[in-house]
Structure 1
Amino acid sequence: MSAALTPMPGRELSNPPSDGISNLRFSNHSDLLLVSSWDKSVRLYDASANVLRGEFKHGGGVLDCCFHDDSSGFSASADCTVRRYVFSSGKEDILGRHDAPVRCVEYSYGAGQVITGSWDKTLKCWDPRGASGQEHTLVGTYPQPERVYSLSLVGNRLVVATAGRHVNVYDLRNMSQPEQRRESSLKYQTRCVRCYPNGTGFALSSVEGRVAMEFFDLSEVGQSKKYAFKCHRKSEAGRDTVYPVNAIAFHPIYGTFATGGCDGYVNVWDGNNKKRLYQYSRYPTSIAALSFSRDGRLLAVASSYTFEEGDIPYDLL
């Protein structure tokens, strides 16, 4: 199981996690890369130099991670805690807790808040400037219709995708209720949501090999732009095999985007012209996560078994 860097030829990061990778994130300021894993670790890499800079441990599998800045970051864990790390000193503390595993974590530079989504069906906002380890850093708790599966931020907008195909859109300046309550236009369970860098909408992926391109503008003209397409599937002998689409990542400059699926492929798409631009060589296992570096030069790819075929012996991977 590894995190590989592309464009081709890709190279494997040294000292990878010992279990499946749940997510990876490039910094908004450098080529530092955070990687969260089911081995209960959060790892900090210098991706350009291919050097492990630090490692932190949770009490359970780590389901998500994000940067605050190049000196600190946050993580969300199956142990129901949200933790923060100071990379230079190795210091870490518990920012807060949920009543069930914490699936997602994001940091809003505009609001100065950490936002977490949990399988306890809540969204929570935290002020990381509070005293170390104090629960009073909690800014607010916002009930969700179902378990939170994925979050994405653009500007002051936060998109929350939950079980049951619910999608809530919030304005971070007024979290009292969602700005929009939607239902996914895809028929099956949501795997990932990612906002467009230009702030006009978001992409959703599902377990059924489809991606939907959605827009915030609710006018007839705005909604006429939305569409969905099939991907990460293959046809053999007239029969379709469909794979979950686990990851979406937008290029920070060109507006193109990459998708990663349980078929082991990473595809790059031109959403405006509705066509696939490129497909990377197949990875040995499912694509669990994707992240572009701030300048778009690097694409980090987490190739990890995602249990699409159940629990199988490691020697079969």
Structure 2
Amino acid sequence: MSTAQFELSDPPTDVISAVKFAPGSSTRLLVSSWDKCVYLYDTHEEEGGRLIRKFEDRAPVLDVCFGKDDNEAFTAGLDWDVKRLDLETGAQTTLSTHEKGVKSVAYSAEHQILISASWDETLHIHLPHKADHVPNTVPLPAKPFSMSLSATKLVVAMAARTNYIYDLKALALFASQASQPPPNLLEIEPFQKRESSLKFMTRAVACMPNDAGYASSSIEGRCAVEWFDPSSTSQARKYAFKCHRQAQDGVDVVYPVHALAFHPLHGTFASGGGDGVVALWDAVAKRRIRQYQKYPTSIAALAFSNNGKYLVIGVSPGFENGMEDLEVEGRVGVFVKELGETEAKGKGQK
């Protein structure tokens, strides 16, 4: 069973958009928020964690990720900009500007590229450590809702139940090719184009740590698990299941599944829903491992630490009940759960 859980002091003041652990530390945590700020914490330096620094932006921040080390971060937001953030000095550098809000940002350490996905229906592929690099643009067929990468693949989940899978090596090569005037006219085809296994709008996507596939979730209380291997044998393994549903007065109330995160060692994954519940799943055995107590409001974001010891749960109103849910004050929190040694292990794992 879980040995401990605590809530971080000094949480954001508005809806949480992302929580991300550092690649080299199990206690260094970034949290981005609609309050136009990014928060850097050490979750275990003192009781309730320590807010190391708060970085202010000019618009709501929709995503954040670490870069090449624990002192570099990248942000995406409603100011349309993709920025590099020096976590030591606080310096912010704009790397590119989209034509609408930027929903997601992800850094591939293996290929040293940064990818941003915008509601202008494009990806920007950056070489963030190459001086004066102009990012190349990849057009998308629809508005991106969520994005995740593994060691070799990038999955972009979009409107119209469209999922594109890109080969990161090809994207890195594409980014290194200088565009000729007018810029950014190079074309790149995805590794695979897929229709979502979910019937309704995709809410989140997360890649497996073993680089084999991904999970996705929808607004209609379902998750799906798929594999990259295009063979008919692998594709026959994909499946979807119902989750995050509560019986109320004999009626099955369905909630959106806002967040997904894979355990880095065991390959199991956590889901977080509008019902305020976090569940752990064994993707291979197709079973729920456990379900935690209900949190005060909707689960907005999830992340496992690099060693798999901690699960961070970002909680804030998800507006599932419409305008009555608009009051945010006092309803935003970041919880750190310490996992027992076998708590997130799948069936038959030693």
Normalised by the length of structure 1, the TM-score is 0.94
Asked if the contact 2:277/2:294 (under 8 Å) is kept, the reply is: yes
Partner of 1:52: 51
Q: Structure 1 residue 252: deviation in Å?
A: 0.7
Partner of 1:270: 282
Q: Identify the range of structure 1 (301-310 vs 244-253) with the bigger mean alpha-carbon deviation.
A: 301-310
Partner of 1:293: 305
Q: 1:105 to 1:182 in 2, by over 3 A?
A: same
Question: Following TM superposition, where does structure 1 have runs of at least 4 consecutive aligned residues deviating by more than 4 angstroms?
Answer: 314-317
Structure 1: state its 5+ residue gaps. 1-5
Partner of 2:78: 78
Q: Structure 1 residue 87: deviation in Å?
A: 1.2
Normalised by the length of structure 2, the TM-score is 0.85
Equivalent of 2:34, from 27, 35, 38?
Answer: 38
Residue deviations 1:64-92 (CA, integer Å, cap 9, x gap): 00001211101101110111111111211
> 1:143 is matched by which residue type in structure 2?
P
Q: CA RMSD in A?
A: 1.5
Report the Cα distance in structure 1 between the residues aligned to 2:260 and 2:328, rounded to whole angstroms.
Answer: 27
> 1:20 is matched by which residue type in structure 2?
V
Report the Cα distance in structure 1 between the residues aligned to 2:77 and 2:56, rounded to whole angstroms.
Answer: 10
Q: Structure 1 residue 14: deviation in Å?
A: 1.2
Report the Cα distance in structure 1 between the residues aligned to 2:82 and 2:3, rounded to whole angstroms.
Answer: 35
> Among the aligned pairs, what percent are the same residue?
46
> 2:90 is matched by which residue type in structure 1?
G
Partner of 1:256: 268
Residue deviations 1:198-256 (CA, integer Å, cap 9, x gap): 11111010000000001111211111111111000022344210000011111111111
Pairing of 1:218-237 with structure 2 (within 5 A): 218-237=230-249
> 2:22 is matched by which residue type in structure 1?
S
Report the Cα distance in structure 1 between the residues aligned to 2:13 and 2:328, rounded to whole angstroms.
Answer: 11
Asked if the contact 1:7/1:298 (under 8 Å) is kept, the reply is: no
Report the Cα distance in structure 2 between the residues aligned to 1:165 and 1:308, rounded to whole angstroms.
Answer: 21
Report the Cα distance in structure 1 between the residues aligned to 2:330 and 2:92, rounded to whole angstroms.
Answer: 36
Report the Cα distance in structure 2 between the residues aligned to 1:142 and 1:113, rounded to whole angstroms.
Answer: 14
Report the Cα distance in structure 2 between the residues aligned to 1:174 and 1:76, rounded to whole angstroms.
Answer: 23
Asked if the contact 1:7/1:299 (under 8 Å) is kept, the reply is: no
Structure 2: state its 5+ residue gaps. 172-187, 332-350
Q: Structure 1 residue 315: deviation in Å?
A: 6.8
Which structure carries more strand by proportion? 1
Partner of 1:210: 222
**1:193 and 2:208 aligned:** no
Report the Cα distance in structure 2 between the residues aligned to 1:199 and 1:75, rounded to whole angstroms.
Answer: 25
Equivalent of 1:13, from 8, 15, 39?
Answer: 8
**1:178 and 2:190 aligned:** yes
Asked if the contact 2:317/2:328 (under 8 Å) is kept, the reply is: no
